[in-house]
């Protein structure tokens, strides 16, 4: 079988499996991402081992190509995450979101890192595990809050704001960590800081000034799918520059490109086109690729214990950190608990950070499996726990909802 033909069949199987499993997951009232991850686990070395089927006899394996397509999926995903960040709105969401977001990053970073050290992992791995624990996926919580009819409550809005603050912080901490790791000595670290600074000094004016002007210019030119194609090119260039020039992760560049394009008036058009490209093709490949990369059978007894312990810490540290932040910002204890619970779910950003750790050799296969399992478990538990701590829509009186809305409107 030729390489092209083999790739065609594998892509069809992988996307079909991801979408079908995602559907089953949604039908079972679980997030689609859960099914897509499990589809990857089933098709990967853990069970079916798709890349080594006797059917596939191309002289060269197509595994590498699938993983590179998955990488492009990560870039697009981070671009879209950036596109959804409204910096001005974020700054206006105010104290609650910022304090909850910041403490929601610090607590898991420290507690996750310490726990990993207790399990005798090396310092760099331990810090990285803490870093994976800092991520928050707000989409699962947002969906649950929508279902419960409390998305516009004071807690709901604080939660959404805190999750965005969290995203930005995770990317920032990851970038600093990746830039400084392996560098020792004041000179090397100074060099790293200079390069990071250089990247931002070039990227920010380009993104704020040149990029919107170019985008509006391109919009008026006779180029087929010009704006979306340009958004892809610019995102790839930002991703490249972040890593090659700034020595920070490529995803940081993609995220930044998203923020810049999100400030243009073509945000909606770009989002629509990118959403199709990402979710119809690249993102399902990224989500299954997670499972394709790991052999869950590599989880031995000790690893399972670590996995359960780190999941517990992931949950407690996020609830405590973000919850305490909300309390410090003046919320009641019950409200603070809801904010904390809403931020438990890790999800895509956690998966992306974990993948980078595996790639860079900062965590090994078995730790990666534990991290994926932790992300799965927190994502599974979040809607369940949220329904417990939030008053149900059906039980909430009209007055309560109106009250919540009113509070939400005046929340700073």
Q: What is the contact surface with a copy of itself in residues (CB under 8 A)?
A: 1, 3-5, 7-9, 11-12, 15-16, 19, 22-23, 26, 32, 60, 62, 64-65, 68, 71-72, 75, 221-226, 228-230, 232-233, 236-237, 239-240, 243-244, 250, 273, 275-277, 279-281, 284
Is the Cβ of residue 311 or residue 355 nearer to a copy of itself in the bound state?
Answer: 355
- For residue 376, give the nearest of 301, 282, 299 by alpha carbon: 299
Name the minimum Å distance from CB 281 to a copy of itself: 6
Is the Cβ of residue 67 or residue 119 nearer to a copy of itself in the bound state?
Answer: 67
Name the minimum Å distance from CB 289 to a copy of itself: 12
Distance of alpha carbon 243 from alpha carbon 173, whole angstroms: 15
Which residues, at least 6 apart from 252, have a Cβ–Cβ distance to it below 8 Å? 78, 171, 174, 175, 242, 246
Is the Cβ of residue 219 or residue 400 nearer to a copy of itself in the bound state?
Answer: 219
Name the minimum Å distance from CB 230 to a copy of itself: 7
Is the Cβ of residue 64 or residue 409 nearer to a copy of itself in the bound state?
Answer: 64
Which residues, at least 6 apart from 401, have a Cβ–Cβ distance to it below 8 Å? 149, 150, 393
Is the Cβ of residue 55 or residue 312 nearer to a copy of itself in the bound state?
Answer: 55
Distance of alpha carbon 100 from alpha carbon 277, whole angstroms: 34
Name the minimum Å distance from CB 267 to a copy of itself: 16
Is the Cβ of residue 26 or residue 402 nearer to a copy of itself in the bound state?
Answer: 26
Name the minimum Å distance from CB 205 to a copy of itself: 20
Is the Cβ of residue 32 or residue 111 nearer to a copy of itself in the bound state?
Answer: 32
Cα dist. 29→149, 253, 344, 376 in Å? 16, 34, 18, 14
Name the minimum Å distance from CB 26 to a copy of itself: 5
* HEC per residue, 112-176: HHHHHHHCCCCHHHHHHHHHHHHCCCHHHHHHHHHHHCCCCCHHHHHHHHHHHHHHHHHHHHHHH
- Four-CA torsion 393, 396, 398, 402, nearest 10 degrees: -90
Name the minimum Å distance from CB 129 to a copy of itself: 22
């Amino acid at each position: 079988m030729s390489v092209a033909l083999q790739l065609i069949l594998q892509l069809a199987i992988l996307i079909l499996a991801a979408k079908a499993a995602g559907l089953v997951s949604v039908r079972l009232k679980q997030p689609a991402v859960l099914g897509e991850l499990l589809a990857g686990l089933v098709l990967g070395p853990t069970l079916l081992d798709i890349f080594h089927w006797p059917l596939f006899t191309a002289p060269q394996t197509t595994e590498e190509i699938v993983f590179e397509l998955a990488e492009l999926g990560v870039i697009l995903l981070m671009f879209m995450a950036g596109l959804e960040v409204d910096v001005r709105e974020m700054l206006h969401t105010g104290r609650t979101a910022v304090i909850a977001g910041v403490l929601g990053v610090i607590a898991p970073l420290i507690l996750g890192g310490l726990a990993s050290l207790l399990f005798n992992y090396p310092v760099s791995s331990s810090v990285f595990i803490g870093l994976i624990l800092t991520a928050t996926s707000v989409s699962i919580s947002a969906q649950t809050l929508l279902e419960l009819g409390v998305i516009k409550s004071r807690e709901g809005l604080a939660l959404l704001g805190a999750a965005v603050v969290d995203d930005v912080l995770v990317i920032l901490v990851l970038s600093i960590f990746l830039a400084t790791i392996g560098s020792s000595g004041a000179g090397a670290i100074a060099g790293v800081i200079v390069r990071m600074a250089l990247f931002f000094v070039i990227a920010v004016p380009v993104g704020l000034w040149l990029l919107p002007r170019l985008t509006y210019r391109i919009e008026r030119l006779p180029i087929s799918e010009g704006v979306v194609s340009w958004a892809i090119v610019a995102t790839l260039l930002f991703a490249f520059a972040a890593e090659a020039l700034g020595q920070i992760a490529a995803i940081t560049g993609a995220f930044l490109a998203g923020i810049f394009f999100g400030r243009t008036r073509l945000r909606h058009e770009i989002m629509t086109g990118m959403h199709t490209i990402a979710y119809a093709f690249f993102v399902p490949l990224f989500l299954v690729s997670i499972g394709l990369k790991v052999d869950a059978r590599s989880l031995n007894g000790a690893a399972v214990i670590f996995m359960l312990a780190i999941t517990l810490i992931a949950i407690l540290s996020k609830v405590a950190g973000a919850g305490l932040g909300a309390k410090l910002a003046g919320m009641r204890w019950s409200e603070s608990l809801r904010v904390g619970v809403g931020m438990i779910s890790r999800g895509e950003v956690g998966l992306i950070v974990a993948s980078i750790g595996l790639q860079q050799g900062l965590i090994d296969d078995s730790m990666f499996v534990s991290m994926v399992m932790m992300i799965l478990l927190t994502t599974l538990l979040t809607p369940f726990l949220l329904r417990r701590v939030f008053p149900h829509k059906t039980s909430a009186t009209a007055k309560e909802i109106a009250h919540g809305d009113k509070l939400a409107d005046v929340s700073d």
